[in-house]
A and B are shown apart, each in its own frame.
Chain A
């Protein structure tokens, strides 16, 4: 069975601070995909990134960056110079198998609050 753990239930920061959201996953499959989704108060899930198990390159997209380390089964997400609009619930998720569009196992979510 798969499992995703986001140890941080809630994080509160002041605008412009950097913040890292942790994600640890468990799976016996060698082929899998990891995702981060953002859920604003409206409830709709917004896709942020997908990473497959064979690609450990870190990725940066604007103020967002992701650190994937298979050795520690972690896929952490960093927001640089946080903004109030970053306030949301962030979910890390895992999909196993050869496709990246199979069913997802979600972590518990991290509530991020960015104060002005």
Chain B
């Protein structure tokens, strides 16, 4: 079964509203999680690294105030798209390092955000 759960899988919202996306590691702790963004027919681009108990590390060009990341526990990271606009419509995917000894990243199923 899936080791990283991402919710919701799809969200449609009006322009100006905020949307929260959750990423949970199942049966293991993740002090670090990653958030990626994928536009249609394009590659995945790393947005930020989520660190449990400390501030997220954002990639160059990603607006910190637009994409708020909170990693309040060892199994949960959230991405909040604040005041969403149509250009924020995208596929957002989280990942977490795998179980000790396996050492790979596991990805969530992704969240498709559509901003009207």
Contacts and interface: CB of A to CB of B under 8 A. Distances in A.
Nearest to A109: B43
Nearest to B2: A44
Interface string B5-19: 000000000000000
B83 to A, nearest CB: 25
Contact of B112 (A43, A104, A105): A43
A44 B6 CA distance: 10
A45 B103 contact: no
B54 interface: no
Interface string A29-60: 00000010100001111010010000000000
A65 interface: no
The dominant DSSP class at the A interface is: loop
Give the bracket for the number of chain B residues in contact with chain A. Answer: 20 to 34
A106 interface: yes
A106 B44 contact: yes
Contacts of A43: 91, 93, 109-110, 112
Interface residues of A, number: 20
Interface stretch (A12-20, A66-74, A95-103): A95-103
17 contacts: A42-B109, A43-B110, A44-B108, A44-B109, A44-B110, A45-B107, A50-B103, A50-B104, A91-B43, A100-B103, A101-B97, A101-B104, A103-B34, A103-B46, A106-B43, A106-B44, A108-B42
Given A104-B95, A106-B44, 16 more contacts: A35-B104, A42-B109, A43-B110, A44-B110, A45-B95, A45-B107, A47-B104, A47-B106, A50-B104, A99-B103, A100-B104, A101-B103, A103-B34, A103-B46, A104-B34, A108-B43
